[in-house]
Structure 1
Amino acid sequence: MKYLPTFLILSSVAFLINGCSGDSPTEKQKEEAAKDVSAIDLPEKTLESLFEVEKGYTLLTLKDFKEFQGKAVKSVEEPTWTEKGGVISCTGNPKGYLYSIKSYSNFSVRLEYRFPETGQKNDNPNTGFLFYITGENRIWPQCLEVQGKFAEMAHIKSNSKEITLEVTDNQEAREMVRRPVGEWNSIEVISKDGALTSVLNGTPIASCKPSELKAGYFGIQSEGDAVEFRNIRIQKLTD
């Protein structure tokens, strides 16, 4: 496929966001612009120009992950994971996860995700973010999870019976800042010496004290519902 010249793409994005006036773009304008550019197959080198990649962070794309699949609950006629215009899309079938090629210990992960309104209607769609994945790949691996499930967004839990966690969680804050199905929610997770802190749309939601898991691979789940991820970036913190 022939790509549009980079300057034309970026100029179009700027126009979509800013319009004809010099006013600062609203969140709605930014989201509408992101929808329009998500349909364009962009050269990889321009993705960081479309998304906010803060100094010290590295943007992760589909090629930075490996895939593990469980047993499909129905025949699979399309790939579970695809990427277009900087958005990683997941069909939700079969259950499984992407896991990073690199292992991490102390880090900050930032990303946005949403359950598209075109997906199967579900009042409590599900996905999750896996940290410190260790051992064999299975459903589900030994790790800690920051929930992506709508009702428990940004909650922290253990995915292994052998590992218990002491978790502090703020349900009231979650309900105040969580955006509805169909809209993008931003998640940040900070790992420091085995302790995790989750931040939802700029508001701290949960934290856990260190467990025996302190390093491993980072993953995102396929858990039965269509879901989209964008602007996944990671920064290693000083050990």
Structure 2
Amino acid sequence: MKNNILISKFIKTIYSLPIVLIFIGSIFTSCGDKKKDSEENQEVEVAEVDVPAKVNELSQEEKDEGWKLLFDGKTTEGWRGYNKDSFPSQGWVVEDGAIKVQGTGSGEAGGPGDIIYDEQFKDFELTLEWKVSEGGNSGIFYLAQEIEGEPIYTSAPEMQILDNDKHPDARLGTDGNRQAGSLYDLIPAKPQNAKPVGEWNKISILVYRGTVVHNQNGENVVEYHLWTDKWKEMVKNSKFKDWENFLNAGGEDKQGFIGLQDHGDDVWFRNIKIKKL
């Protein structure tokens, strides 16, 4: 009888053993899956870490695409004063990897004047970053002609740079066409997405066979077409109506200089790059 009981217990143990093994196996499998999931999650997190872009440098991809650096972050090589043979001796400096125009507190009066890059461009894409001081004002000129005795803005369209919150120009003009990113005094930047004072704004200006696009902080905000009937009508009804060189921006060869404006306020520029199209 006793032997029968022992045999019965032994048989039950044998039959229950697979269940125990399956249970133990599931524990190890679950742990393995969790470890695998954890490792996969960890890999995703590492992959999503952003690597900061280098300032005032061209990546290998940009070099391969034909981009040219217009500012090395250390010197003013390639730049000079508008209608001048050299770079201004004061008022413009290189500071913390940026070209900076130093404010005078007197608006456009008494400053060092505008600067240009000493090469003319026709069809191109220009990119750069800018930031402005409180209440600051400046601009980026393109297709500018150098005309003795005339300021740069009489021949060149301008992408506006502005502290939209403090500078009165933001409330002047028509429909916000003097706010940051706009074709100054002609076409407002929409959407208006300029960043606050002290933060870097990234812009691009594309010019191709008369088509012009302003992009500000990743969004196209202005598009227009030079030398068309619509362009002529728009200029005719603006403050630029008597400026023949402005109407014919780019001149006979439809090319010109890139310029940075001195408007009497602290403004910084960096990562200035251009690609001919």
Structure 2 counterpart SS, 1:129: strand
Superposition deviation, residue 86 in structure 1: 3.0
Amino acid at match of 2:68: T
Matching residue within 257, 267, 273 for 1:217: 257
What's the CA shift string for 1:134-192, capped at 9, x where partnerless? 1415434421111112331111147xxxxxxxx65443x11xx2210110001100001
Superposition deviation, residue 68 in structure 1: 3.4
TM-score by length of structure 2 reads 0.56
Superposition deviation, residue 83 in structure 1: 1.5
The alignment covers a number of residue pairs equal to 177
**Corresponding residue number in structure 2 for 1:80:** 91
2: CA distance between counterparts of 1:168 and 1:201?
Answer: 18
Query: Any conservation in 1 of the 2:80–2:118 contact (CA below 8 Å)?
Result: yes
Matching residue within 165, 183, 191 for 1:156: 183
Which blocks of at least 5 consecutive residues in structure 2 are unaligned? 1-44, 105-110, 165-178, 228-247
Alignment CA distance shift 1:66-1:155 (3 Å):
same
What's the CA shift string for 1:10-29, capped at 9, x where partnerless? xxxxxxxxxxx946138xxx
TM-score by length of structure 1 reads 0.64
Is 1:146 paired with 2:159? yes
**Corresponding residue number in structure 2 for 1:132:** 143
What's the CA shift string for 1:23-47, capped at 9, x where partnerless? 6138xxx59x97xxxxxxxxxxxx5
Superposition deviation, residue 203 in structure 1: 0.2
1: CA distance between counterparts of 2:58 and 2:257?
Answer: 27
Alignment CA distance shift 1:235-1:157 (3 Å):
same
2: CA distance between counterparts of 1:168 and 1:91?
Answer: 28
Is 1:96 paired with 2:113? yes
2: CA distance between counterparts of 1:82 and 1:95?
Answer: 11
What's the CA shift string for 1:74-109, capped at 9, x where partnerless? xxxx82111245311110340521111100110000
1: CA distance between counterparts of 2:161 and 2:122?
Answer: 21
Structure 1 counterpart SS, 2:151: coil
Alignment CA distance shift 1:150-1:194 (3 Å):
farther
Which blocks of at least 5 consecutive residues in structure 1 are unaligned? 1-20, 35-46, 71-77, 159-166
Amino acid at match of 1:147: Q
Structure 2 counterpart SS, 1:103: coil
Structure 1 counterpart SS, 2:205: strand
Question: Where is the helix percentage greater, Structure 1 or Structure 2?
Answer: 2
- How much is the aligned-residue C-alpha RMSD, in angstroms? 3.0
2: CA distance between counterparts of 1:135 and 1:229?
Answer: 22
Moved more, 52-61 or 209-218: 52-61
Paired-residue identity, %: 23
Alignment CA distance shift 1:69-1:217 (3 Å):
closer
2: CA distance between counterparts of 1:110 and 1:49?
Answer: 12
Is 1:109 paired with 2:126? yes
2: CA distance between counterparts of 1:24 and 1:218?
Answer: 36
**Corresponding residue number in structure 1 for 2:36:** none
The higher radius of gyration belongs to 2
Moved more, 99-108 or 191-200: 191-200
2: CA distance between counterparts of 1:169 and 1:58?
Answer: 29
